[in-house]
Chains A and B, each alone.
Chain A
Amino acid sequence: MRTSEELDEILQAAFCLEEERGGPFSHDEVLARARCGAEVLKRAVDSELMAEGESGYMLTDDGRARASLIVRRHRLAERLLHDVLRVPDAATESVACRFEHVLEHEVTESICTLLGHPRACPHGKAIPPGECCVSRETEIPAVIQKLSDLIAGAEGRVAYVHAANDSRIDRLASFGLLPGTPLRVHQTWPSLVLEVGETHLALDRETAEDIFVRVGSSDTNAAAGSGTGRRRRRGRGPGGMCRGFWRKG
């Protein structure tokens, strides 16, 4: 178990290095990044996951495939912790590091679907797409969905805005469309119209694809949003629900 985790770490480090510079990397760099010893690198090379070329080390095709799965798990975990569970930033990284080793394939795909197939982690790095992103199966009702996938009448709050285009984000922000803003979809065709407070905003599909929404009526979201709200809900909500349920039964 331990050895496979070390191997995961070095593959992940190699993947990130390749991603950052678009080419091979040196022996020392990858060891420093993965915080492990030279014997792990040797083992990766022996298992034909990495190879030593003229200008440094690089991942083999097998290695890259395996590494991209690890990175995918890590970054999805970050998204989950950050957007849904709202774990403080400082803790996200260390928890995500543990998640990446233990997530089963099916669980990973479920998380990805739940989060609406996000394209980037909270730091803006790309999440390698998995099978579910291609087939778009939506058996699990997603907690976070793309604005462009919502139907008229849906309500929710902005979870995050995909960070590919700064000027688009700034423009959305200047209209007050920021994480946490409650919204309601007024219509979806021929253009999308949103109700944000008393403002009606028209936007196009391309922009709507960048906005990820935590779906649900805005009241329950408001409760989930702040600490006091969560307490309030725990104190009142379930009790009321149970009473109603029992009386009915």
Chain B
Amino acid sequence: MHDHGPAAPDTPDTGPKLILVGNPNVGKSVFFRLLTGRYVVVSNYPGTTVEVARGSGRFSGQSGEVIDTPGANSLSPNSEDERVARDVVVGPGEKTVVQVADAKNLRRALLLTAQLAELGIPMVLALNMWDEAQDRGIEIDVARLEAELDVPVVPTVATERRGFRRLTASLADARPSKFVPRYGDAIEDAVSEVEELLPAGTAGGRGIALMLLANAPTLEAHMAARAEPGFRGTLDEIRRRLASNLRESAAFTIQRHRARHADEVVERVQAAPRGRAPATGLLRMLFFWLFGPAAFYAVGWKLASFVFYALSGEGLLSAIVGGEPRFAALGVAGSALATHGFGLLSMLLYSASMWRREYRGGGSAAAALARLSTHPVGGFFLLVFVLWVVYFVVGVVGAGECVDFVEGTVFGTFDEGEYGGLVNGPLSRGLASVIGRDNIVHAFLFDDRAGLVSTGLTYSVAIVFPIVTLFFLLFGVMEDSGYLPRLALLADRIFKRVGLSGKAVLPMVLGLGCGTMATMTTRVLETRKQRLIAILLLALAVPCSAQLGIITAVLAGISGTGAALYVLVLAAALFGVGWCAARVIPGEGADLLLEVPPFRLPRPVNVVVKTYHRVKWFMREAVPLFLLGTVCLFVIARIGLLGWIEAAARPVVTGLLGLPAAATIGFIMGFLRRDYGAVIIFQQFKQGTVGANQALVALIVITLFVPCLAHFFVCVKELGWRKALLMDALILVIAVLVGTLVRVLLVVTGIDVSLAA
């Protein structure tokens, strides 16, 4: 496993280091960008940063290394990302800490300040989001706080660079804080005993001793390696003695003292909130009077249409039950009236509730949205709306219009022995005029099944690029608004059944963007069991954005029943496997304990920059793999290996799944990238070599299929080779099994999912 010891080899001991530390979601990464000019992803939810980012910057008149750490509520870690942060802070070398605090939550920040003070690290405190605190009527006496802590304190608004210059100037005055709580005789005695045990030259002995008393296994192992033999035994003895003298656990008692201390300081420097001013503004009016009602009208109408559709002749329900159309009596006009009636009803209910609860009281649009997003009924309506917008933008506009344009018009498709388009057509004809058509070089570049340009480049750029870009753009808006953590609230009860807490929604939804990133984000989960289940489900049943777009395109070509079946089967696989995993994998279940950030209006610049960096990163990773895959495919096709593999896979592909042998290429490419596999199925479906029912089966198998290479390597990094390989084998079996079941189901029930049926 990925294990940063406090003295990880990649930590250079030389030069001054500036470490950004703070509670989650307070803006550390924004400061990192300001200090270094290097981009790291910034969002509005706790857990955006799970790894340490390093860059160089200039501070206090000299240049040195700047380190961004994952958010931590405590330096006695409860999860992997907190541990990473702790290890950086207690690591060796000359360092200065900039503690970034949420000015609205001074008390929580001070709990961390106390721990930094105990470690004796020179620091300054940035009271970030100063504007939000002011908006809420929170007044902090900065000079008084400076005196209490004895370190520079600077109010800042990082996203607007306000206070940044003062902060960098104050770094010259950075010094260890005097905010060191006393913990009562029992703990103080134990601390001094542990301090004597520590290896000579350990900096911040008091802080380290307190961490050891509060139980810190990895830190203890690290200290034991350098201390005298018998360190562990004596430490255990001290801890046992302390436990018998305390009523609660040592960690809890220590934290309680810190909190009391922090409360006293907060009481002295912070006046009681004045209460917030009533919100005004154009956007608020638009939200209450236009966007909200319109969205709710759309959702009510769509939901009613969907229910009618499902219950009428063409729908899934009657396909299974075999019943007569039930709403034939209403007729076209009647149905339209009824569905729009539901839209109107939903809009009126929404408006009445909003007017009564939010608008009249002068609440802001953000506050109303925040309440709505976690409302038991309204929350689900909003979710439907958000999903529908994503489907529309990514599926219809992206996978439909954009892909058709880029693939058909710009690149050109293979049609009756000739390429069209602006790229493939002229290039292939030009090349043919120079070296002729029937040679290996031309085939290598423009083979219709495995040409480097006509397939590899075209697929990756024409199909994947527009879809991924649009998805990341929308995703960025969702991230920055603060919507994602709210999904955790809605999903917690369902997720509990599969051994996860609602917090796992974050990696799962991120997985819809890119499974590789999402797998790293599982570090925010507290228990090993949760992480294992989340990583498994991500690799198994969560399609990434590239794949999702192509899948949407295929689904658009089969009937609504087919699309519904696809979703149902995947959901069943996800929960079935999760349910089993929760029972098989030993370990502790999961609590939900999550900070819900306030809703904020996303900053367009941040969304665009973030999308740009993500797409760049994605293309840099995806395009070479697409090209490599194409080359491999070309080679095995040329030397005749492809036919052999197709023959070998025939029992499974044709026998079990009922697909044509040609579909095997899709699965082979699926080992490299699942989206590549999906593209091949998409193409075969368009050409008609794969029927609608077959496409559905193939789609389900390729979705459940083993993760792409990059994703697999991240799994190896997080779990180790043995577990990752075992997981891949398991996934392969499940994918084929589920695919076979779906095929049998389709045959037995006689459902035809083609559009014509």
In this assembly, does A20 line the interface, its C-beta being within 8 Å of a C-beta of chain B?
no
Contact B74 A174 (CB under 8 A): yes
Q: Which residues 165-185 of A have a CB within 8 angstroms of B?
A: 166-176, 178-181
Instruction: Tell me, in angstroms, the Cα distance from A124 to B256 when the chains sit together.
Output: 17
Given A200-B595, A203-B592, A203-B593, does the pair A174, B107 have CB atoms closer than 8 Å? no
Known contacts A170-B76, A170-B249, A171-B78; A179 and B256 CB within 8 A of each other: yes
Q: Mark B632-660, 1 if CB is under 8 A from A, else 0.
A: 00000000000000000000000000000
Cα A197 to Cα B109 in complex, Å, equals: 12
Q: How distant is the Cα of A170 from the Cα of B256 in the complex, in angstroms?
A: 10
Q: Mark B587-609, 1 if CB is under 8 A from A, else 0.
A: 01001111111100000000000
Interface residue A198 (Cβ < 8 Å from any Cβ of B): yes
- Minimal beta-carbon separation of A181 from chain B (angstroms): 7
Q: Quick one: which of B102, B374, B593 contacts A175, CB cutoff 8 A?
A: B593
B187 to chain A minimum Cβ distance, whole angstroms, is 15
8 Å CB contacts to A: which residues of B466-496? 485, 488-490, 492-493, 496
CA A175 to CA B703, docked complex, whole Å? 38
Residues of B contacting A161 in the complex (Cβ-Cβ under 8 angstroms): 252
Minimum Cβ distance to chain A for residue B146 (Å): 21
Q: Which B residues are CB-close (under 8 A) to A172? A: 593
* Minimum CB–CB distance for A131 against chain B, Å: 29
CA distance A232 to B591 in the complex (A): 41
- State which residues 444-460 of B face A: CB under 8 Å: none
Q: Is B108 an interface residue (CB 8 A)?
A: yes
**Quick one: which of A94-137 are within 8 Å of B by CB?**
122-124
Given the complex, which residues of B lie within 8 Å of A187, measured CB to CB? Answer: 374-375
Contact residue range for chain A? 35 or more
- Tell me if A202 and B105 are in contact (CB < 8 A): no
Which A residue sits closest to B375, measured CB to CB?
A: A187
Q: Separation in Å of the A205 CB from the closest CB of chain B?
A: 9
Contact B489 A202 (CB under 8 A): yes
Q: What does the 1/0 interface line of B62-80 toward A look like (CB < 8 Å)?
A: 0000000000011010100
Are B249 and A166 neighbours in the complex by a CB distance under 8 Å?
yes
Q: Is A207 at the interface (CB under 8 A from chain B)? A: yes
A200-230 Cβ-contact flags toward B at 8 Å (1 or 0): 1111101100000000000000000000000
CB of B78 within 8 A of CB of A198, answer no
0/1 interface trace, chain B 83-118, chain A, CB 8 Å (1 if under): 000000000000000000010110110010000000
Stretch at the interface among A32-40, A41-49, A143-151, A188-196: A188-196
Cβ-based interface call for A163 (8 A): yes
Q: How far is the CA of A212 from the CA of B470 in the complex (A)?
A: 47
B260 nearest in chain A by CB position? A180
Give A161 to B262 CA distance when docked, in angstroms: 20
Known: A193-B374, A198-B138, A201-B593. A166 touches B251 (CB 8 A): yes
Question: A82 to nearest B CB, angstroms?
Answer: 9
Given contacts A198-B105, A202-B502, A202-B593, contact A190 B251 (CB under 8 A): no
* Contact pick for B493, options A170, A174, A191, CB 8 Å: A191
B 369-386 to A, binary, CB cutoff 8 A, 1 in contact else 0: 000001110010000000
- Closest A residue to B370 by CB, please name it: A200
Residues in A whose Cβ lies below 8 Å from that of B595: 175, 199-202
A197/B249 contact (C-beta < 8 A), A170-B76, A191-B493, A191-B502 known: no
Cβ contact of A170, chosen from B78, B104, B488, B492, cutoff 8 A: B78
Chain B, residue nearest A171 (CB): B78
Whether A175 contacts B108 by the Cβ 8 Å rule is yes
Name the distance in Å between B418's Cβ and chain A's nearest Cβ.
Answer: 57
B255 CB–A CB distance under 8 Å: yes
Q: Which residues of A contact B594 (CB under 8 A)?
A: 201-203
Once the chains bind, are B502 and A178 in contact (CB under 8 Å)? no
The reply on B248 being an interface residue by CB < 8 A is yes
User: Are A170 and B105 CB-contacts (below 8 A) given A190-B493, A198-B138?
Assistant: no
**Bound complex: CA A222 to CA B591 (Å):** 30
A204 and B252 form a contact (CB under 8 A): no
Q: Is the CB of B247 closer than 8 A to any CB of chain A?
A: yes
Assess whether B492 is in contact with A178, with CB atoms less than 8 Å apart.
Answer: no
B136 within 8 A of A: yes
Structural contact, B252 and A173, CB atoms closer than 8 A: yes
Chain A, range 42-95, C-beta contacts under 8 Å to B: 89
Are the CB atoms of B255 and A170 closer together than 8 Å?
yes
Assess whether B248 is in contact with A207, with CB atoms less than 8 Å apart.
no
Contacts A197-B107, A203-B591 known; A173 to B251 CB distance under 8 Å? Answer: yes
Q: Which chain A residues lie closer than 8 Å to B102 at the CB level?
A: 198
Task: Give every chain B residue within 8 A of A166 (Cβ-Cβ).
Answer: 249, 251-252
Q: Is the CB of B252 within 8 A of A202?
A: no
Q: How far is the CB of B216 from chain A (nearest CB, A)?
A: 11
Shortest distance from the beta carbon of B131 to any chain A beta carbon, whole Å: 13
A residues near B105, Cβ cutoff 8 Å: 197-199
Q: Does B104 contact A198, Cβ atoms closer than 8 Å?
A: yes
Q: How far is the CA of A62 from the CA of B350 in the complex (A)?
A: 62
Interchain CA distance A206-B593 in the complex, whole Å: 11
Cβ–Cβ < 8 Å partners of B591 in chain A? 168, 171, 203-204, 206-207
Which of A122, A173, A189, A193 has the largest count of B CB atoms less than 10 A from its CB? A173
- C-alpha spacing A178/B111, complex, angstroms: 12
Whether B752 is near chain A, meaning CB under 8 Å from some CB there, is no
Task: Indicate if B259 sits at the interface (CB-CB under 8 A).
Answer: yes
Report how far A131 CA is from B133 CA in the complex, Å: 49
Bound-state Cα–Cα, A47 to B597, Å? 64
Instruction: Determine which residue in B104, B107, B252, B488 has the highest number of CB atoms from chain A within 10 A of its CB, and name it.
Output: B252
* Complex interface: chain B residues within 8 A of A178 (CB): 255-256, 259
The answer, among B107, B260, B526, B592, for a CB contact under 8 Å with A204, is B592
A190 to B105 CA separation, bound complex (whole angstroms): 26
User: Are B78 and A190 interface neighbours, CB within 8 A?
Assistant: no
Establish whether residues A191 and B255, one from each chain, have CB atoms under 8 Å apart when the complex forms.
no
B561 at interface, CB cutoff 8 A: no
B76 partner, pick from A122, A163, A174, A203, beta carbons under 8 A:
A174
Verify if B263 is at the interface (C-beta below 8 Å from A). yes
Of chain B, the residue at the smallest CB distance from A167 is: B78
- CB-CB under 8 A from B78, the residues of chain A are 167, 170-171, 174
Shortest Cβ gap from A186 to chain B (Å): 8
Find residues 566-603 in chain B having any chain A CB closer than 8 Å to their own CB: 588, 591-598
Assess whether B501 is interfacial by the CB under 8 Å rule.
Answer: yes
Q: Which residues of A contact B111 (CB under 8 A)?
A: 174, 176
**7 residue pairs from A and B, CB less than 8 Å apart:** A171-B593, A173-B259, A175-B595, A178-B255, A191-B493, A204-B501, A207-B592
Those 3 A-B pairs whose CB atoms lie nearest each other, nearest first:
A174-B74, A198-B104, A173-B255
- Measuring CB to CB, which residues of chain B are less than 8 angstroms from any residue of chain A? 73-74, 76, 78, 102, 104-105, 107-108, 111, 133, 136, 138, 214, 247-249, 251-252, 255-256, 259-260, 262-263, 374-376, 379, 485, 488-490, 492-493, 496, 501-502, 526, 588, 591-598
Known pairs A172-B593, A189-B376, A202-B502; list 15 more (Cβ under 8 Å).
A166-B249, A169-B249, A169-B251, A170-B74, A173-B74, A173-B251, A187-B375, A193-B596, A197-B105, A197-B107, A199-B105, A200-B596, A202-B592, A202-B593, A206-B591
